[in-house]
Amino acid sequence: MILVTGAGGFVGSVLISELTRRGICHRGAARKESGASFGIGSIGPLTDWSVVLGGVDTIVHLAWFAHAVHSIGADGANVLSANVEATLNLARQAARAGVKRFVFISSIKVNGEATLPGRPFTADDAPNPQNAYAQSKLDAEQGLFALSRQTGLEVTVIRPPLVYGPGVKGNFAIMLEWVRRGIPLPLGAVHNKRSFAFVDNLADLIILAAGHPGAAGQVFLVSDGEDISTTELLQRMAQALGRPARIVPVPAPALTLAATALGQRAVVNRLIDSLQVDIGKTRELLGWAPGKSMAEGLQQAARAVRGAVLALDPVARSA
């Protein structure tokens, strides 16, 4: 039996659907009860997980308030710290309940914010978190591995880069909407390299890592196995959406200068810096390879965007 926390979220809902499709015994847990999930209430350092741990041998922990620092300002660090304690609280209860494995979905930000082109992050690189969110993920990883040494609970960590697919939120969704609307974007001369993970590929790896004997005690990176520039990403988005690519070739240094003047340097850095991951360890140790291409992932994301537009009123359909 696999328990999935954060079952109602973007990745969690896809994972639950895939577990169901494969006939794998599972249950979901989320803050609010739904048809597919137990309502566990507020997930924190004092949450009682006993109601959902019976018969569970593997936990996939997805629940995390990812944008605390930006959402709640000065208190963000406290919320992120609570995330860490909430994770360790669940793991301690899991160990006492006889759970065998704990799969923790971390973030590539534990490795750092950017890479030099052609020098991707690897799973065994020294951590280099650059902000409170990344540090909190690392703190949780380290706490879990310490608990593993004390209790024998097997811990597996997966660090994804940006995850996308139908229903994605955040910056990826914003870029899709910009392209759909035909907004000219000054990103036509960006020659970086970035890795992405289609949500179906991440779900596939999670399921494999949940049961593979070689996954215990390991950190894995995941991606679609194809690194592209921001310029190429926008071009592919346009193709998937059936829209012209309105991308203006503004040199990256000019973008950086303008962003610095506007106080948006960090936003532009995420668009022009490289961030590549090496999934060699994942391939070799687990025998895993991404089952779906980035082209397939973008097509599915685009179909979801078009479907959402068609559900709106006639004025919105023509936008």
Would you please indicate which residues are annotated as catalytic (active-site) residues?
133
223/202 Cα distance (integer angstroms):
8
CA nearest to 2, candidates 40, 48, 44, 52: 52
284/264 Cα distance (integer angstroms):
40
Structure tokens at 302: 């685009």
What are the angstrom distances between the C-alpha of 41 and each of 33, 82, 84? 8, 15, 17
